Amino acid sequence: EVQLAESGGGLVQPGRSLKLSCAASGFTFSDYYMAWVRQAPTKGLEWVASISYDGGSTYYRDSVKGRFTISRDNAKSSLYLQMDSLRSEDTATYYCTTDLAYWGQGTLVTVSS
């Protein structure tokens, strides 16, 4: 059974950093593109970033480019999202997803002073 478990969310002040993790199991992690998608409270879904099988290619939405870094460790079947210079508009539940098919339960990031 495919399982994705996000962690690392919490309350953080504007301008600070946070690193999200996603632990994957039940499938061959290195066979899949991975992505982060977020959802602000009561809002719709928004793609954040994607990473290729080996981490050699990464893609970001413009609003996070230069502030967020997606990475993966295939040996640990784990996906990461390093978030720097956080802003209030980054407040959202962050989901990791395997190639948009399977999704975790999400981790809430709240950026507030």
Partner 1 sequence: DVLMTQTPVSLPVSLGGQVSISCRSSQSLVHSDGNTYLHWYLQKPGQSPQLLIYRVSNRFSGVPDRFSGSGSGTDFTLKISRVEPEDLGVYYCLQSTHFPWTFGGGTKLELK
C-alpha distances in Å from residue 5, one per residue of 13, 14, 66, 75: 24, 25, 25, 16
Residue of 83, 34, 69 lying closest to 54 (CA atoms): 34
Backbone dihedral region of 66: left (phi > 0), alpha (psi from -120 to 50 degrees) or beta? left
Is there binding between residue 106 and partner 1 (CB under 8 A)? yes
Given the rule CB under 8 A, which of 10-18, 56-64, 67-75, 76-84 is the region that contacts partner 1?
56-64
Per CB under 8 A, the list member of 44, 54, 56, 113 interacting with partner 1 is 44
Closest distance of CB 47 from partner 1, Å: 4
Q: Does 53 bind partner 1 (CB under 8 A)?
A: no
φ, ψ of residue 74 in degrees (nearest 5)? -65, -30
Q: Please tell me whether residue 104 binds partner 1 under the rule CB under 8 A.
A: yes
Residues that bind partner 1 (CB under 8 A): 35, 37, 44-47, 50, 59, 61-62, 95, 100-106
